[in-house]
Chain A
């Protein structure tokens, strides 16, 4: 279970310029739930994702995941928490463009130093599941947007995380590829993963497998 308690996040843009991204946000997400965070650009959706993934720390309040307060984790423990629990699909995919598909998917496994057979097995499994195995050795920068997104999804799932976070996942996709992404989401949901999506794409409204839609406006839950 994920719990955000009285979260406020203020970004220091410069010495005299502070931006309040979130203000007193309270949110509880149950295990296996699929949540869609809706709202305009700059409303604070991505900040919530970033706090749940321990990519940043709240200015005040607590982020609790499975009973552990992750908002105060030291940097190295936050990395380990992400490695073990979070699969993050970034808006711009955040792949290493000069590496191959396989090398990109391997990256989250590198710190674990697994046996090559074990690593290969995991990589092959996610590549098959997200239909990118035919591009295994292709360099990522030469792939289409849809293919790059599938690589990002495969990378987010290679460690079999409990929580999948996706930030504007369809922002760079055409309609057909967006529909395909929804199929992937449905599959992930069937695996009982907790999924949190931040989007302003109307495609996500009223989907049967989405448990809750939460509207964010000016850093507050509406």
Chain B
């Protein structure tokens, strides 16, 4: 009985690859680069999408902002009590926060003020209040920073404190009270948290005012209704719901995806040119070899099996190498160059790490776009030659 796997054929296929080492080295190189590019782009977008979804999920259900002349102004804190009276609202908190542009590093920090004894609108803040003594932070004029902020500050030699420039031009020295982990990587990297009183001083914000008000609704299905009621109650406000924020984030992401799409098309186009070149014929040397093999008793099936093994080894090796390099490039080295294309809003954010998102679908898609196509492009012209009369081929 014949054995199922013909190791001689596999050995012959590997030998055939090694015999044409220059040509195959070129194919493996190009194939690997294309796989690497495709998977890198997919990995980066997957990570960013994950990051974006995580960020959006941690955002408040409703944000109420006071508008004046089409611009966002400070809102009266006493509006919180009126909002709390709306049926369905389970909580409302006046937030004190703002962006602080750190010119040396060219980045924006999100500076957030927390009142220790208030209801916190984020789980991570509840944990912070439990973990750190805010009375002591107020007393020492200290702040808590995300890991990215700490790195950025240290790069500018602010290791123990930071001097904030107040609107009147004077400095506010705030010492480093601790480092925290946020809900998401993006958040933890650009956020500074400190007692509300210090934030008010840095941004020159009156105690009767807040940056905005966040509202929690018990039943998520009622978010739109509550938003409409707030708008009716305070016509001078802008109401932003989680849904609106998702759309806004998605728009930025989709814009970046357009660039990705262009890159994706160029990569695929290059791949198909190579495939077309390969599919359009076999060399006279390869043709002769097929003729010899047939003349000494190989069937068309034997020839095609050998060609299958040959192309499978090349394409699978290149695919594996491309994916491996891509994993290292994206998650180990944090995708230098490519990452800048996608993280367009990095001007507002400090450096952050691309979270590892293993997506089988992505790997399968790249596999389908490369390996079977390459195998087919190798087998079809070989099949054309193998079905000719052997005499015609070797004559």
Contact = CB atoms under 8 A, between A and B. Distances in A.
Interface of A: 50, 53, 55-57, 75-76, 79-80, 82-84, 86, 88, 90, 94-96, 98-99, 103, 106-113, 119, 155, 159
Contact of A79 (B8, B19, B300): B300
21 contacts: A53-B295, A79-B294, A79-B298, A79-B302, A80-B297, A82-B297, A83-B296, A90-B394, A94-B295, A94-B394, A99-B19, A107-B12, A107-B293, A110-B8, A110-B302, A111-B297, A111-B298, A111-B299, A113-B8, A155-B296, A159-B297
Interface stretch (B177-185, B187-195, B269-277, B385-393): B385-393
A80 B389 CA distance: 14
Counting chain B CB atoms within 10 Å of each CB, the highest count among A76, A96, A111 belongs to A111
A110 to B, nearest CB: 4
B292 A110 contact: no
B297 A108 contact: yes
A84 B296 CA distance: 10
Given A88-B295, A111-B297, 9 more contacts: A53-B295, A76-B299, A76-B301, A80-B297, A82-B296, A84-B297, A99-B19, A110-B302, A155-B296
B71 interface: no
Contacts, number: 77
Counting chain A CB atoms within 10 Å of each CB, the highest count among B288, B299, B392 belongs to B299
Contact of B390 (A55, A107, A111): A55
Contacts of B299: 75-76, 79-80, 111
A120 B86 CA distance: 91
B57 interface: no
Contacts of A94: 288, 292, 295, 394
B131 interface: no
A171 B19 CA distance: 29
A82 B302 contact: no
A108 B298 CA distance: 7
Given A109-B8, A113-B2, A79 B297 contact: yes
A96 B289 contact: yes
A106 B301 contact: no
B6 A55 contact: no
Nearest to B387: A75
B9 interface: yes
A110 B391 contact: no
Interface in B283-333: 288-289, 292-302
A60 B299 CA distance: 24
Counting chain A CB atoms within 10 Å of each CB, the highest count among B3, B292, B387, B394 belongs to B292
Counting chain A CB atoms within 10 Å of each CB, the highest count among B2, B15, B293, B296 belongs to B296
Contact of B15 (A99, A109, A155): A99
Counting chain A CB atoms within 10 Å of each CB, the highest count among B8, B9, B389 belongs to B8
Contact of B296 (A56, A76, A108): A108
A113 B4 CA distance: 9
Interface string B262-280: 0000000000000000000
Contacts of A79: 294, 297-300, 302
Given A55-B391, A56-B392, A110 B15 contact: no
Nearest to A84: B297
A83 B6 contact: no
Counting chain B CB atoms within 10 Å of each CB, the highest count among A94, A103, A112 belongs to A94
A112 B2 CA distance: 7
A95 B389 CA distance: 18
Contacts of A57: 389
A127 to B, nearest CB: 17
Contacts of A75: 299-300, 387
A95 B4 CA distance: 28
Contacts of B297: 79-80, 82-84, 86, 108, 111, 159
B295 A56 contact: no
Contacts of A76: 299-301
Contacts of B3: 113
B19 A98 contact: yes
Contacts of B301: 76
Interface string B198-209: 000000000000
A66 B387 CA distance: 26
A75 to B, nearest CB: 6
B389 A56 contact: yes
B292 to A, nearest CB: 5
Contacts of B15: 99, 103
Contacts of B296: 82-83, 88, 107-108, 155
Contacts of B390: 55-56
A110 B298 contact: yes
A96 B391 contact: no
A189 to B, nearest CB: 22
Contacts of A108: 296-297
Contact of B295 (A82, A84, A110, A119): A82
A83 B299 CA distance: 9
Contact of A113 (B6, B289, B292, B394): B6
